[in-house]
Amino acid sequence: MKFVLASHNRGKLKEMQEILAELGVEVALQSDVGLDLEPEENGSTFAENAAIKAKAVMEASGLPAIADDSGLCVDALNGAPGIYSARYGGLDSDAARYQLLLNNLRGATNRAAHFHTAIVCAFPNGDVIRAEGDCQGTIAFAPRGESGFGYDPIFYVPELRKTFAQLTAEEKNAISHRGNALRAFAVELKKYLENN
């Protein structure tokens, strides 16, 4: 069975292919099936935004479509930047966004945070599969590490004593919000495929 990933990100595609290959599922980027969609993400939750993207790509391609939406939620900032993580403060670089977040946390004693991912798969027959995943951590006082992207240099995992940007890809995938959501999604998709 062929699925379309509602994304332009080859890194996400590779991750998705690795986890879903054992189910006999082929996953392609939307550009690989001739699509270049950027649906407006105007939902109020990660799951709503993922569903908007999955539905748009499914309708345009006629194939089952998978989409995800992820972000960083900081307790002391009332869950911000949350669904606005990729456009926090209207800034256009990862470093500028995480520096703004660090500035906004100046003086805060509670630095607890979590990354969250919602994955939605929309089928042409109207069926929908959803899965979510989290990774708990804290916000470091300064960026550390060279790997990763986004807020990875300031997201600190106390058990590992490292930021996401200091982890190897294998270490990060084992504990990350996206890895956790993908594993949960694979379980739900397996059940769905066995019953349909």
Q: For residue 169, give Cα distances in angstroms to 25, 142, 161, 173, 175.
A: 23, 21, 16, 6, 10
The H-assigned helical ranges of 37-138 are 46-61, 94-104
In three-state secondary structure terms, 88 is helix
The 10 Å Cβ neighbour count of residue 92 is: 8
Q: Does the annotation mark 94 as catalytic?
A: no
Query: 32, 68, 69, 92: which is the annotated catalytic residue?
Result: 69
| Angle between helical axes of 177-195 and 10-20 (0-180°, round to 10) | 50
Distance, CA of 55 to CA of 65 (rounded, Å): 7
Greatest C-alpha distance within the chain: 54
- Residues annotated as catalytic are 69
